């Protein structure tokens, strides 16, 4: 948390509020929130005077193109650089007035012309920010971008791709869905939801899935993420959009965080197990686990 729908919700909010806004300064309240550059002065001075052109999302990363150039569809070098953000577990970006009360866990403040500011708030302090200098590709500074698999909504996330990728993997399908090198942006919540709607238990080995099951799962991943984006993401504890509004998908969830509650389809109590150190929620009746051949 946040996962792709939450990050996409934040991206849309940032594009609605911060674009064409000029950064006139800032302050770093917790230096380890900066991934690059290491020094707060370099981070703030690198962006000072630049406007935000547009925000992109890649997996769970947010990347803002800086400057006045035409919008860039790919994350390549630009004349004015980039601002990168990874929210990790509890990060938030909030669009505020400077006189608004300062949240206890505010880590970075960026001041904009017009008496507004963008605050990076992070309780657990795992989130990170990057300034990518001019004429530099974000991938060379935000190196985590290099290992990401295809976006769920992209043509690259095809049935053929997923079938060939999963065919020989002897790991649980839930674990595979959380692997960002296989598909970018899917996390614990939406993996559970997609598996439920596909009728596949989280413990099923990838190599045991039929092509039809994989194709069905791929479509459910796309559909579940789309529905969650339309609902503004999921708020369980910390997630808020840039104006402080909670997401609404949690109340619609089929299985996630519903341990012991009746399945919305068959009434069987939802079960929860630990898988790879993460909680997995599923319906034992709707997602039967066949014996290993």
Binding-site annotation, residues for DNA: 105, 124, 169
Alpha carbon of 31 to those of 39, 127, 244, 257: distances in Å? 7, 12, 24, 34
Q: Decide if 117 is catalytic.
A: no
Query: What does the angle CA 264 – CA 179 – CA 242 come to, to the nearest 5 degrees?
Result: 70
Q: State both tokens at 78.
A: 């630009």
Binding annotation: 105, 124, 169
Q: Decide if 274 is catalytic.
A: no
Instruction: Extract the runs of DSSP E, i.e. beta strands, from 87-183.
Output: 91-96, 106-112, 116-122, 128-132
Whether the CB-CB separation of 276 and 172 falls below 8 Å is answered with yes
Whether the CB-CB separation of 110 and 26 falls below 8 Å is answered with yes
Q: Decide if 278 is catalytic.
A: yes
Q: Which of 22, 88, 272, 278 is catalytic?
A: 278
Q: Which of 53, 57, 58, 60 is catalytic?
A: 60
Q: State both tokens at 38.
A: 């290491």
Q: Which of 3, 8, 117, 193 is catalytic?
A: 3
Phi, psi of 142 (to 5 degrees): -95, 75
Q: Decide if 60 is catalytic.
A: yes
**Closest alpha carbon to 205 in 162, 161, 173:** 173
Q: Which of 2, 5, 152, 172 is catalytic?
A: 2
Buried b (16+ CB within 10 A) or exposed e, 238-256: bbbbbeeeebebbeebbbb
Alpha helices in the chain (DSSP H): 4-17, 40-47, 138-141, 159-166, 173-177, 188-198, 211-230
Residues catalogued as catalytic: 2-3, 60, 278
């Amino acid at each position: 948390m946040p996962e792709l729908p939450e990050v996409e919700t934040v991206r849309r909010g940032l594009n609605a509020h911060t674009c064409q806004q000029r950064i006139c300064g800032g302050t770093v309240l917790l230096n380890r929130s900066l991934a690059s550059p290491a020094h707060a002065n370099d981070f703030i001075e690198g962006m000072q005077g630049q406007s935000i052109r547009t925000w992109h999302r890649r997996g769970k990363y947010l990347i803002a193109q800086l400057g006045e150039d035409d919008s860039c569809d790919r994350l390549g070098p630009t004349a004015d650089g980039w601002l990168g953000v990874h929210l990790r577990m509890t990060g938030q970006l909030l669009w505020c007035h400077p006189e608004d009360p300062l949240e206890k866990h505010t880590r970075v403040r960026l001041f904009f012309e017009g008496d507004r500011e963008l605050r990076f708030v992070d309780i657990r302090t795992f989130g990170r920010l990057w300034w990518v200098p001019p004429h530099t590709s974000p991938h060379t500074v935000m190196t985590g971008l290099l290992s990401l698999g295809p976006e769920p909504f992209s043509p690259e996330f095809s049935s053929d791709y997923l079938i060939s990728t999963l065919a020989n993997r002897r790991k649980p399908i839930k674990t595979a869905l959380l692997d960002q090198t296989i598909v970018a942006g899917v996390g614990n919540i939406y993996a559970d939801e997609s598996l439920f709607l596909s009728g596949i238990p989280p413990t099923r080995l990838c190599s045991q899935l039929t092509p039809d099951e994989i194709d069905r799962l791929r479509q459910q991943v796309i559909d579940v993420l789309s529905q969650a984006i339309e609902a503004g993401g999921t708020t369980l504890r910390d997630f808020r959009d840039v104006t402080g509004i909670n997401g609404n998908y949690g109340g619609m969830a089929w299985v996630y965080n519903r341990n012991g509650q009746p399945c919305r389809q068959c009434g069987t109590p939802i079960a929860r197990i630990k898988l790879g150190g993460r909680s997995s929620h599923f319906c034992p009746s709707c997602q039967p686990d066949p014996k290993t051949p």
